[in-house]
């Protein structure tokens, strides 16, 4: 089964969105990095992004049956969405929360994420490499 890699709101604009914080790589660049890292480990990824909370929840529910592990950058919804947390709590596969920036070093409202309550582990602060490292962790945990 593939590793699902989900990205939340505003990450479609990666590369042009506050590049001093999130880097110059586009989400397409990040997808290629994830695909390459997965294939080097003999694995595959399903890579998706949505600006919509309900769409992300639908994909998390889908991952219950279709994925071996889930990498999720919930973006702003990590800080707000109990519904996303509730969906994640139904997963029996490893969940790796991933952030490009290090939210713990930023504004106080970014210090808490609901997603962390359901995550197996968190990778933050390494830019696009956070996703690669998260895919690696997902592969290891679901081996």
Q: Where are the alpha helices (DSSP H) in the chain?
A: 19-22, 27-40, 53-66, 82-89, 128-141
The reply to whether 22 belongs to the active site is: yes
Minimum CB separation of residue 42 from ligand DQA in Å reads 27
> Is 106 labeled as ligand-binding?
no
* Residue in 140, 138, 123, 143 with CA at minimum distance from that of residue 45: 138
Query: Among residue numbers 29 through 58, which ones bind ligand DQA (CB under 6 A)?
Result: none
The reply to whether 52 belongs to the active site is: no
Residue nearest ligand DQA, Cβ-based: 75
**Contact between 10 and ligand DQA (CB under 6 A)?**
yes
Exposed e or buried b for every residue in 10-47, given b needs 16+ CB within 10 A? ebeebbeeeeeebbebbbeebbebbbebbeeeebebbb
Residue with tokens 């914080």: 21
Number of residues interacting with ligand DQA: please give it, by CB under 6 A.
9
> What is the spatial distance between Cα 24 and Cα 10, in angstroms, rounded to a whole number?
14
Q: Of 80-88, 95-103, 114-122, 131-139, which part binds ligand DQA (CB under 6 A)?
A: 95-103
Q: Which is nearer to ligand DQA, 18 or 66 (CB)?
A: 18
- Given candidates 110, 112, 126, 133, which one binds ligand DQA under the rule CB under 6 A? 110
3 forms beta bridges with 45, 69
Q: List the catalytic residues.
A: 22, 99
Which residues of the chain form contacts with ligand DQA (CB under 6 A)? 10, 73, 75-76, 99-101, 103, 110
């Amino acid at each position: 089964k593939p590793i699902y890699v989900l990205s939340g709101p505003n990450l479609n604009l990666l590369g042009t969105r506050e590049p001093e914080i999130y880097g110059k790589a586009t989400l397409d660049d990040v997808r290629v990095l994830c695909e390459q890292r997965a294939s080097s480990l003999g694995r595959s990824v399903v890579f998706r992004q949505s600006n919509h909370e309900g769409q992300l929840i639908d994909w998390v529910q889908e991952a219950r049956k279709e994925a071996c592990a889930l990498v999720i950058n919930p973006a702003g919804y990590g800080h707000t969405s109990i519904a996303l947390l509730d969906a994640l709590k139904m997963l029996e596969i490893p969940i790796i929360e991933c952030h490009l920036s290090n939210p713990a070093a930023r504004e106080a409202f970014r210090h808490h994420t609901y997603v962390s309550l359901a995550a197996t582990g968190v990778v933050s602060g390494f830019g696009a490499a956070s996703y690669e490292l998260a895919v690696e962790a997902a592969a290891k945990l679901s081996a």
